Structure formats: structure tokens, C-alpha cells
Amino acid sequence: VYEMLFCGFCFVLIAVQANYAPYFFDNGASSTNGNMALLSLSEDTPVGTHVYTLNGTDPEGDPVTYGMTCEAGSRSYFAIDTNFGNITLVEELDREKEDEIEVIVSISDGLSTVAEKVRILVTDANDESPEFINTPYIVQVPENTPSGSSIFKIEAVDKDTGSGGSVTYFLQNIHTNKFTIDRHSGVLRIKTGITLDYEKARTHFVTVVAKDGGGKLRGDNKVFSATTTVTINVEDVQDTPPMFIGMPYYGYVYEDTLAGSEVLTISALDGDRGKPNNINYCLVNGSEGSFEINTTTGAISVIKNPSKLKKEVYELKIQASEINPDGDVTAHVFATVIIRVVDLNNHPPTFYGENGPQNRFELTMYEHPPEGEILRGLKITVNDSDQGANAKFNLRLVGPGGIFRVVPQTVLNEAQVTIIVEHSAAIDYEKFQSLTFKLLAIEVNTPEKFSSTADIVIRLLDTNDNVPKFSSDYYIARIPENSPGGSNVVAVTATDPDSGLWGEVKYSIYGTGADLFLIHPSTGIIYTQPWATLDAEVTAKYNFYVKAEDTEGKYSLAEVFITVLDVNDHSPEFNENIQEKTMIIGSPVKIEAIDQDAEEPNNIVDYSIMQADPANVFDIDQSTGEIKLKSYIRSLDIIHNITKNKDCVWSVVIQAKDRGSPSFSTTAVLKIDITEETLHKGPMATFLMQTKDNPMKALGVLAGVMGIMVVITIMISTAMFWRNKRSNKIMPVRRIIKKRQIHQPRTGAAEKFAIEDDAQSLQNENSNNNVQVPSLPPTAPALPPPAVLAPRLNPTEWRVPTVSGSLSPKFINKQWKKRGSSSTHIALVSELKQKFEKRNTTGNSPHI
């Protein structure tokens, strides 16, 4: 029984000792692993960054897992790897919104879980810009505010801490500003030595910049700033005296003016326009009791009958005073008024329309009227009711010069005013929609120079007077040849300054080079036909005309030059993929491939040997395609030592590759029969060697030569037959040369000639140098020229035809040019010579 109790007691003790809780390591605030105590993170930490590793252990050595939770309703910023404890940031931090984050971290061994609440501090980064508060800023400043005075305080805040939260201020365009700002307090002041003036500038706009002190943001030092505009309204104060307007002042009193009549009115204004005071007028001196002035309106009146006025000219001194609201005079100014007493000339020129006096005349007309045309729509009459010299005045048109002229230019009493077009091109709707002139009538011989004006307003209507104009006389474009149909090539632009439909431009193209292209009628974009295929190898350049036309058919042209850019779209091509060549040792053979591309380097072909067995026998010139044996191979014996192929025929694979990008290549098999040179060098040997690989070519050449010889023989025989049939004469082989008898009388024709049988004469008879006989092919002999057809080269030269020969003076010794003849030529000449001699011996006696 005791043994059983003891055993049971031991079992209970073992079960209690097996369950110890896991715990975190506390590695301090600067550690990146442990229990996360005193962890701080910058608010600019990128999302996805591994920020910490939870680290702990279990006393029993059991594996542990980690966890992290947030309080209910709070935002979850982190994700945790439960097995390894790696904590990753998954939401952006913002210190300005939340500067501390509380989370619960836990560690568990499967049986026991230990949880701790930790607080994570979010540190500041310079991610905020300064912000102005209480905007907009509008400041009212009296114009008499002393320079250097503070007028406003600007305030901006930056939510960052440290240097990133400190704000300094400065102004843009500081050199042109009348203001300055304290960089720390933001107090805006008037610059020292500067005063404000309401009369010069009533409002000032000042741009203020607020800049923080800078700080780190994602590893870089950043400085943020903000701007705002301060509107400074200058308030007027009474600091400017009144001023007269419309000076100088002149008035006239005529002899028929009634006493009490107003002569003229003067006007003065307070120089302070913001809050002007009332103006009071008074006559200081110069009136001599003849004139008075209205203290409020400034109207000057004559109080005597003009016949009682003792002077012709009065100079009145007028004072204008400011009266403040209290009735006190604050400032005053003086002006002089000159009043002249004149006799009767009291009517200035006056303009009249159809309905009476009128000072404004309007007309609507089309632009560009013909020069010399009268503006008949203007019905203007001018009149001066005075008489004599007082009624004479000049007319003048004031405005843009040279466009119109007025007729007449000098008027006495009254005239109909005519305005004539002088410069039609200047009356252009595109430049002016309306023209305004002043028609001025001013007296000529009166001291007053009375004048009147009338406004002439001419409103223009547009016409289609402009031709569409291209931005350039020609357009140059380039397009790759592999561009698909419908590709844009170039855009042309033309403008028509006319208004409405007349200003709309429609584009079209024409010309022999325009078949592959279209143009959008409105935008001017030239593009290829949908079905068009460009090929630089066929046509590399196109040119045609583009027309810009308005609705009435007015147009202009521009020329378009399009270059098709070559692309490498052809492979080099051999004449035959399998070729046979015969190579004489010491002489190269050549293979050639053609690339149909249009431009270099796409059509430059490089050659190389791809395969040969044995490989070390041939060399090829990369550029020309010439193939030759290696330099050490000088005889067939060396070749027989290299290979067991006794027939000396090799098959070589040749590659032709162009230099385009991308590059294309093709191959051909060249069968080379190697032989030694056994014939003597010469044209025939060369020809036979060249035609060894093509025997049909040799047979064709030989057959051609034989055919030519047969045709020439037939032609010679036919010519001889027809000549003998016509004249029944035979040309001699020998020439009979006449000998002149100086002292002997003339006996008979036969005695006066001697026979000359020399080689030179024979050569002349059989050479092809007689201009009367058409030249024959150079390989065939020419017929002997008939004596009767020989040209008379000299007045003393003459010939007498006979049956057996021709008679010619003995002193003629003409040298004939020789031509090279072939063996066939010599044989035919010998045969003809024999026939002529035989016929010469059996023929009739010669007669003249």
C-alpha cells in the first residue's frame, strides 16, 4: 500500500512541472528584436518595410508562435509572421494624425499565452507644407502712413516638429516691392524711405512666401513652402491741392452778347480722388466789374453790355479752394482766364445731316472699294452763318492717314462734303472692322479759329478678298517603306483670314506623284492610301502639289516632297542556288548575289564560305565574292595530297549576307572544278576556258561565226553578178597607168598607157576605203570598187574604164589606209585575184 501511494504521489509532481509559460526577450529600446518595448518609427517609413522582430522563448524549449492585435475600433498598421515574429508595416503612418500606436503582442507555446501591451511612438518627418491662416489677406493702409510702419502680420503654421515645423517669411520681387516682411514674425512693413500715394497707385499686390526649416523625408532633405497674396488698398487722405482741368481757358464775348450771358465755365477737382472735398470758385482780379463767377459751378458770365466793355482782352484771375466738411478752406489754386471781345463772329462752322445739325455720321460698306469711289452713303453739309472772312474755313479729315480724302478742302459759307476713297488696300476688314475719323472744320482768317468736329464711323463688311496661304511653300516628309496603308505622312496648314465660310479651307492634292496618297480635306493631314504599298526599290521619291481652297474657289498651292526610307526587306539572291564553275589554278572564280534594297547598307553584300570539305582549301573576298585557292596550293598534286577526291570537284556552300538591320542572308552551293592551265594564253584559249562550263555557249558562238561567213559570201557573189550583168565589165587586178609623152605626138590610145602592177594598187582595189561603196561588217572583205564610181579627188585625176582595167594618170600615187584582215579575208582576196587574171587573159581587147 505504501508503494502504491508513493508512486501516485510522484506522478502528480511530474505533471505540474511540465507547464511553464513562454516569455519575450527584453533587448532594450535600440534593439530590432525582442518584446517591442519603446519602439519608435518615423512617419515616412514606407509601407511593406520590416520594422521589428518579436523574439522570445519557452523554458521547456517548445516552439513558440507570436501574435499582435489592436484595440477595438483602432486602425491596424502592422502585419505579423506568427512563426518567425517578423512585423511588417502595412498602412502609412501620419504623426500629425496619430503620434502613438498601442498594440498587444503575444507569445504562445501552444498551452500558455503571454500578452503584453506596447506603445509605439511615431516620430516626425518633414512631410507637411506651411499653411497660411485667416486668408485672404486684405489690408487698408492710409496713404500718409509713415515709411517703416507695420501694416499687417501674416501667420503660417507647419504641423511638423523641429526644424520642419519652423516657418520663415519672405517676399517675391523684393527689389520692385514697396514693402518688406520680418522673416521670423511675418510682420509686413512699408520699406524705409518709401511712401504710398493714392493718386499714383491705389492697390498693391504682395506675394508672401512661407518656408519651413527643412528636414528628412524618405532619406532626403526636403524644404516645403507656400505662397499667398496680400492685397493692400491705399486709402486716400487730404494731402493734394485742387487742380484745374481743361486749361488754358479762353472765352469770347461778341457784340451781340446779352448782359448776364455765360461766357465759359471753368472746372477744378480735388487732387484727392478717394474722398474729394467740395470746390469753391472766386474772382480775384481782372474783371473790372464786367464779369462774375458762380462760386459753386465755376461759370463765368458777362454782367455788362458788350458795347460798354472798354478792353478787347480781359485776363481774369480765378481762385479754386477746397472746403472741408467743417467749412474750412484747406487748400487753393489759381488759374488765369482770357476773355476776348470780338465783333459778330459768333458762329462756328456747323455740320448738318438730313435731319439738321449732326456731329456723328455712320456708314456701312464692303472692304476694298475702288479707289476714287465716293462714299455716297454719307450726306454731310457744313455751314458757317457768319459772313465774309469769318465764314471761310478749312475742312480736314483726322484719322488714319492716306485712306480717304475730303472734298472740298476750303469752304466759304456752305458746301456739300464729299469723302473719296484714296487707298483701297488699307480698307481691310481683317485689320479693322470699323474706321473712325474726325471731320474737322476750322476757320481760316479769324483770330478765334472757331472749329467744329464731327465723328465719321465707317463699319466694314467682309468680302472674300484673301487667298488661303500655306505656312510654307513646300513640305518635306519621310516615311519608311514598310509603313502600313493609312499611315500619316505630314500635316500641311493653310489659313484664310476671311470670316465665316470664306475663311474655311479645304485641302486636296494632285499631281503624278499623288496616286498613293490622300489628304484629309479639313485637317490637312496627308496619309497613304489604305491599299498603298510603298517600295523604296521601285520609287524612292514622290512629289506632288497640295491645294488649299476656300468656298469660292480661291486657292494657293504648296509642293510636297516625300522620301520613302529604305528598310532592309530583301535578301541577297544568287542567280542559281546551285552553280558550277571551273577554276584554273592561279585564277579566281567569282560568285555574285544581288540585293534589291535601294540604299546602303541594306544592299551591300558580304560573302563568306559556310561549308567546304576539306575546309582549308578556298578563300573568298568578303566584298567582291572572288574565290581562290589558298596561297600554298599551286598544282593539282597538292590538291590530290589534301583529299582523296581525284576528280578535283568541290561543293562549297557560300553565304551572301547584307549589312542591313536586321540582316538577311542566303546561301548557294558552288561546284568548283579545279584544273591546270594547258592551253597557250590568248583570246581563243581564254574563251574556251570561260565556256568550258557552258558548252552550249561555245557551240552558239561558232554557229554564229559560220552563219556570218555564209551571208557575207552570198552578198559578195550577188553583188558581183549584178555588176557584171549591168556593165559587162570586169574590174582589173592591175592598173594601167598613163605615161605622158612630152615631145612625141599623140599616136594611139594603147601606146599612151603603161601597165603598172604593184602591190599598192592591188591593196587599194581590195580595201574597204571607197566612200562610194557602203561599208560591210569588218570580218568580211569588201568588193573591189568600180572605176566609174571612184570619186574625183583632184581636177587633174581622171580614169578611163576598159574591159580589162582602168586607165589613170601615172603621176597619181594615192596612199590607201590598210585595215587588219583575217585569214578568211586573205583567202577570198586571193581567189578573186585569180579569177580576175584568168578573165583578163581570155577577154576582149580594151576600148575607150
What's the pLDDT at 822? 43
Distance (Å, rounded) from C-alpha 543 to C-alpha 512?
8
- 382-396, 623-637, 648-662, 759-773 — which is least confidently predicted? 759-773
Set of cell numbers at residue 487: 499611315
Distance (Å, rounded) from C-alpha 582 to C-alpha 695?
12
**pLDDT confidence tier of residue 132, bands split at 50, 70 and 90:** very high
Q: Which residue has the higher pLDDT, 559 or 617?
A: 559
Distance (Å, rounded) from C-alpha 293 to C-alpha 90?
90
Q: Which residues contact 4 (CB under 8 A, 6 or more apart)?
A: none
What's the pLDDT at 474? 93
The answer to whether the CB of 89 falls within 8 A of the CB of 41 is yes
The answer to whether the CB of 551 falls within 8 A of the CB of 613 is no
What's the pLDDT at 458? 93
- In tens, the pLDDT along 318-366 reads 998 888 877 777 788 899 999 988 767 778 899 999 899 999 999 999 9
What's the pLDDT at 682? 55
- Counting residues of the chain whose pLDDT is more than 70, the rounded percentage is 80
The answer to whether the CB of 178 falls within 8 A of the CB of 194 is yes
Same fold, 469-565 and 573-675: yes
Alpha-carbon separation of residue 147 from 144, 173, 178, 195, 326 (angstroms): 9, 19, 9, 6, 30
Alpha-carbon separation of residue 768 from 280, 493, 498, 705, 722 (angstroms): 133, 72, 81, 20, 19
What's the pLDDT at 685? 57
Write down the mean pLDDT value for the chain.
Answer: 79
Reported CATH class of domain 350-461: mainly beta
What's the pLDDT at 304? 87
The sheet carrying 605-611 orders its strands as 578-584, 665-675, 649-658, 605-611
Is the pLDDT at 451 greater than 80? The verdict is yes
- In tens, the pLDDT along 60-83 reads 888 999 999 888 778 888 898 988
* Helices and strands, counts by H and E, the chain: 6, 62
What's the pLDDT at 762? 34
- For the chain, the 3-state helix, strand and coil shares in percent, each to the nearest 5, are 15, 40, 50
User: DSSP 3-state assignment of 171?
Assistant: strand
What's the pLDDT at 773? 36
Domain covering 573-675, topology = Immunoglobulin-like (2.60.40)
User: DSSP 3-state assignment of 840?
Assistant: helix
The answer to whether the CB of 732 falls within 8 A of the CB of 756 is no
Is the pLDDT at 847 greater than 60? The verdict is no
Set of cell numbers at residue 141: 493702409
Domain covering 469-565, topology = Immunoglobulin-like (2.60.40)
The answer to whether the CB of 813 falls within 8 A of the CB of 797 is no
Is the pLDDT at 613 greater than 50? The verdict is yes
Strand spans (E) along 172-326: 179-181, 187-190, 203-212, 215-217, 220-222, 225-235, 243-245, 249-254, 262-265, 267-269, 278-285, 291-293, 299-302, 313-323
**pLDDT confidence tier of residue 222, bands split at 50, 70 and 90:** confident
SS (H, E, C) 697-764: HHHHHHHHHHHHHHHHHHHHHHHHHHHHHHHCCCCCCCEEEECCCCCCCCCCCHHHEEEECCHHHHHH
Distance (Å, rounded) from C-alpha 33 to C-alpha 53?
4
Is the pLDDT at 795 greater than 90? The verdict is no
Q: Which residue has the higher pLDDT, 809 or 632?
A: 632
The answer to whether the CB of 332 falls within 8 A of the CB of 241 is yes
Q: Which residue has the higher pLDDT, 696 or 291?
A: 291
What's the pLDDT at 243? 86
- Counting residues of the chain whose pLDDT is more than 90, the rounded percentage is 25
pTM exceeding 0.85: no
- In tens, the pLDDT along 557-592 reads 999 999 998 888 888 888 887 788 888 888 898 889
- In tens, the pLDDT along 703-732 reads 889 999 999 999 998 888 888 776 554 444
What's the pLDDT at 840? 56
Set of cell numbers at residue 553: 474657289
Q: Which residues contact 614 (CB under 8 A, 6 or more apart)?
A: 642, 643
What's the pLDDT at 405? 93
Is the pLDDT at 170 greater than 80? The verdict is yes
Mean pLDDT of 181-188: 90
Mean pLDDT of 45-73: 87
- 522-531, 651-660, 814-823 — which is least confidently predicted? 814-823
CATH 2.60.40.60 corresponds to the domain 23-123: yes
**Residue extents of the structural domains in the chain:** 23-123, 131-235, 243-342, 350-461, 469-565, 573-675
Q: Which of 358, 357, 350 is nearest to 456 (CA)?
A: 358
What's the pLDDT at 678? 59
Widest CA span in the chain: 199
- In tens, the pLDDT along 107-119 reads 898 888 888 888 8
What's the pLDDT at 205? 92
- In tens, the pLDDT along 149-160 reads 898 999 999 888
Residue 117: how many other CB atoms lie within 10 Å: 10
Is the pLDDT at 811 greater than 60? The verdict is no
What's the pLDDT at 546? 96
Is the pLDDT at 486 greater than 70? The verdict is yes
Distance (Å, rounded) from C-alpha 827 to C-alpha 830?
5
What's the pLDDT at 792? 41
Q: Which of 442, 439, 493 is nearest to 469 (CA)?
A: 493
Mean pLDDT of 408-424: 92
Mean pLDDT of 540-551: 93
User: DSSP 3-state assignment of 121?
Assistant: strand
Mean pLDDT of 506-522: 92
Distance (Å, rounded) from C-alpha 636 to C-alpha 643?
11
First vs last Cα of the chain: how many Å apart? 187
Residue 643: how many other CB atoms lie within 10 Å: 12
Domain covering 131-235, topology = Immunoglobulin-like (2.60.40)
Distance (Å, rounded) from C-alpha 533 to C-alpha 6?
106
Distance (Å, rounded) from C-alpha 135 to C-alpha 133?
6
What's the pLDDT at 749? 36
What's the pLDDT at 687? 64
- What's the residue count for the chain? 848
What's the pLDDT at 275? 74
Distance (Å, rounded) from C-alpha 840 to C-alpha 820?
28
What's the pLDDT at 357? 92
| Buried-state track 406-420, b at ≥16 Cβ within 10 A, e below 16 | beeeebeeebebebe
CA angle 636, 641, 644 (to 5 degrees): 95
CATH 3.10.20.30 corresponds to the domain 243-342: no
Alpha-carbon separation of residue 450 from 80, 201, 393 (angstroms): 102, 39, 9
- 151-160, 242-251, 591-600 — which is least confidently predicted? 591-600
Is the pLDDT at 395 greater than 90? The verdict is yes
Using the structure block, give the residue that is written with the C-alpha cell 458762329: 347
The answer to whether the CB of 337 falls within 8 A of the CB of 300 is yes
Please state whether the peptide bond connecting residue 59 to the residue before it is cis, i.e. omega within 30 degrees of 0. no
Is the pLDDT at 819 greater than 70? The verdict is no
